[in-house]
Amino acid sequence: MKDAEGAGPSEGAGAGAELTARLVAEVDWAKVVDPSIPKPDGQYGPDLLERLWSPDLRTAHVAYDTLHFTCSGDGGSVRPAAPEVLPFLVEAVRDPAVKVRPQILETLAVLARAGNEARAAAPGPGSGGWWRTAPAAWPAAWDRAVDALLPLLADDVEGDEDVRAGVAAVLARATHRADDLIGRFLTRFGDEPHLSVAEQLVMTVGELAPHAVERREDAVVWLRQRATDAGKGEEPDMDDDTDVWLAWMEQHGHDVRPAAVVALRRALRPL
């Protein structure tokens, strides 16, 4: 059975016995295979996912790189491994102890895009290869992943703004749930304390709007408002009036006008 290159046998110790048992029981490892190496030499085992929880950054990153290739090849398809390991990739994103959370979110975005393209691609002569394909289990697995990722939009753990922004970017690919997600993003925007996440929320609304039915017009109106709204305005000088500065800091009215202009163009584009 193939191993993740560069990782020793004890370097996945951060995963824990309970998680290891679930990896054995819940993943069909016969489907988790290196796309470039035939079985059995190219088949992986539970230790590959375990290493995402390694306290050693290099070990976790090697495992992440391997999983990315195993799940998506060069990014143009959803490999059979993806539905099998997806719940644990999401679980890793939800765990602050995992050091490669933003990178895993990038992989989820790649898989979601490839899944959407596979669904949209009409079969024709010569189809049946690996490009723009997804296994039958992918849509249901992806839908469950969307539900599991949504709580992270409100993750208030210090320093997790990159994860919130990454989750919003991933969910921009959940076009089949555009109406539901647009409502959630509009609500979250008013509570989001970080500008970078607020900008990503705006961009995600722009990506989802063309796919919405009930909420498309709401999204367009909202984006037009954001494109002209300076938010809470310029930061006051703390030395002039500390109370005014503190009141300004407690507000979440971000100036996202540049992002909103781009998002509005995307919202209005034809599909």
Residue 149 falls inside a structural domain: no
**107 and 216 both lie in a single domain:** no
C-beta separation of 173 from 146 below 8 A? no
Provide long-range contacts, Cβ within 8 A and 24+ apart, for 154-162. 154/188, 154/191, 157/96, 160/96, 161/194, 161/196, 161/197, 162/101, 162/102, 162/196
Angstrom distance (rounded) from CA 227 to CA 250: 22
Residue 143 falls inside a structural domain: no
pLDDT under 50 in the chain at which residues? 6-13, 124-128
In this prediction, residue 243 carries a pLDDT of 80
In this prediction, residue 4 carries a pLDDT of 55
What are the Cα distances from residue 251, in Å, to 6, 129, 132, 156, 189?
47, 52, 44, 16, 12
**110 and 203 both lie in a single domain:** no
Residue 103 falls inside a structural domain: yes
C-beta separation of 149 from 167 below 8 A? yes
Instruction: Domain of residue 194: give its range.
Output: 156-271
Residue 21 falls inside a structural domain: yes
Contacts of 168 (CB under 8 A, 6+ apart): 153, 185, 197, 200, 201, 203, 204
Please give the tally of structural domains in the chain: 2
- pTM of the prediction? 0.85
Q: Among all chains, which residue has been given the structure tokens 């060069």?
A: 74
**114 and 215 both lie in a single domain:** no
What are the Cα distances from residue 17, in Å, to 8, 13, 60, 106?
18, 9, 18, 27
Strand-pairing partners, residue 33, are 43
In this prediction, residue 43 carries a pLDDT of 87
Residue 146 falls inside a structural domain: no
Q: One-letter amino acid identity for 48?
A: L
